[in-house]
Structure 1
Amino acid sequence: MNEFSAFRQRIDKSIIIKAQSGDRRALKSIYETFFTASFKLVYRITTSKSASEDIVQNGFIKVLTNIAAFKHNGSFAGWLRQIMVNEALGYLRKHKKFTVELELNPQTNEERQSQLQSLDVANNTVFDQPWWEACNDLFVLMKDLSVGARTVLILHEIEGYSHKEIGAFLDKTESFSKQVLARTMLKLREQVTREEARNASNS
């Protein structure tokens, strides 16, 4: 996960061990430590506050029910975060709100294909400024993206998941995730360019 993820909190290993033995205070500490981060992640994916509340609660039930299975050979925050991502995606699939195919229209014209090939997705050079420098504005821009495109963007750019990991989440290939992100970045760049031109004409 990168610096923009809300899952940067650390929790002492002793608390996790106590929680694994059923200690209520330890379980409560885990809930309080990661609730806000979990809600932010789920809300960014679903854009529904009421749904996010239910999803996070269900996610924590799974976390606390399965915490004994955590092997301490990786990040606990990462383990918990993966459960929340799966819960959010499960909700979208259940309510038939999830699609990424719209971002892979085979009718894309040659000019757009050329632009896609020029994008350096791995190094986030879609914009001249750092990608998340104006984070709040970017979330406004994302409101017009499909659920799938927004999800790929959030998981890769904010949460730091690899394309291989995202492909696994979506039951797709690593290449598919890369293509979705590239097209999504291009769409946002074009939108920013239009807004900048509009603002310049009004000044």
Structure 2
Amino acid sequence: MTKQQNTLKGFAKHLSECEFNALIKGKHLGFTAAYKMYGHCVFSLAWYLTKDHGLAEDIMQKTFEKLLQNSSTIKQRETLGGWLKQCVINETASWFRKHPQLYTISELSEELSNTSELPITTTLATGCLNQLPIHAKNVIYQHVVLGEKHSEIALKMGIEADHSRQIYHRAVKQIRQWLLAKGLK
């Protein structure tokens, strides 16, 4: 290993030539070396993107399953880290596309608890969210889950940024009122 390779961190690191050749030939030695070198990076990125330990573990497993299936297609050892990083991003995006409602409710519960100082459960948030008009649900989803700014949401919806903020704040206020009406204080 050269001095420059010793200073590389995270996904920029790469396997030795011997380990990489073993990996692309489907040998256990190569896969084990890749897992040891990149496992923490893959998990850390998955956790950063999802903020969910169990989900991050699932994404990590799927990423390394893909590596097992596709290792022979990786041409250069220097690109393996980037390939794994992109795989984590793709797996995470795929999960969010398949489960948008679940994550929306979870994020909304957390957001409402932070803004209203009320203990909000996922069940309560689901009931309240379902009562909102579709445009309010869209603004909440885009702002809370996707982390978009109101200016970005406004462009997508064809409205002014101030209108997006207003929709969001009215929706949160309405949900707070519904929760207070149910006796949560």
After TM superposition, the score normalised by the length of structure 1 is: 0.47
Higher relative contact order (CA 8 A, sep 6+): 1
Secondary structure of the 2:18 match is: helix
CA gap of 1:73–1:22, structure 2 versus 1, over 3 A, is closer
Per-residue displacement from partner, 1:141-170 (whole Å, max 9, x unpaired)?
xxxxxxxxxxxxxxxxxxxxxxxxxxxxxx
Separation (CA, whole Å) in 2 of partners of 1:44 and 1:19: 27
CA gap of 1:90–1:34, structure 2 versus 1, over 3 A, is same
Q: Give yes or no for the alignment of 1:20 onto 2:73.
A: no
Paired residue for 1:105, among 153, 157, 169? Answer: 153
Q: Name the aligned partner's letter for residue 161 of structure 2.
A: T
CA gap of 1:70–1:41, structure 2 versus 1, over 3 A, is same
Higher helix share: 2
User: 73-82 vs 99-108, which deviates more?
Assistant: 99-108
Report the Cα offset of residue 6 of structure 1. 3.1
CA gap of 1:73–1:31, structure 2 versus 1, over 3 A, is closer
CA gap of 1:14–1:22, structure 2 versus 1, over 3 A, is same
Report the Cα offset of residue 14 of structure 1. 2.4
Task: Provide the residue aligned with 1:201 in structure 2.
Answer: none
Separation (CA, whole Å) in 2 of partners of 1:23 and 1:102: 43
Structure 1: segments with no counterpart, 5+ residues: 110-203
Q: Name the aligned partner's letter for residue 105 of structure 1.
A: I
After TM superposition, the score normalised by the length of structure 2 is: 0.51
Paired residue for 1:8, among 12, 16, 29? Answer: 12
CA RMSD of aligned residues (A): 2.4
Separation (CA, whole Å) in 2 of partners of 1:27 and 1:38: 14
Structure 2: segments with no counterpart, 5+ residues: 1-6, 105-141, 155-159, 163-185
Q: Where in structure 2 are the equivalents of 1:47-58 lying within 5 Å? A: 47-58=51-62
CA gap of 1:102–1:77, structure 2 versus 1, over 3 A, is closer
How many aligned residue pairs are there? 106
Could you list the structure 1 runs, at least 4 aligned residues long, displaced by more than 6 angstroms after superposition: none
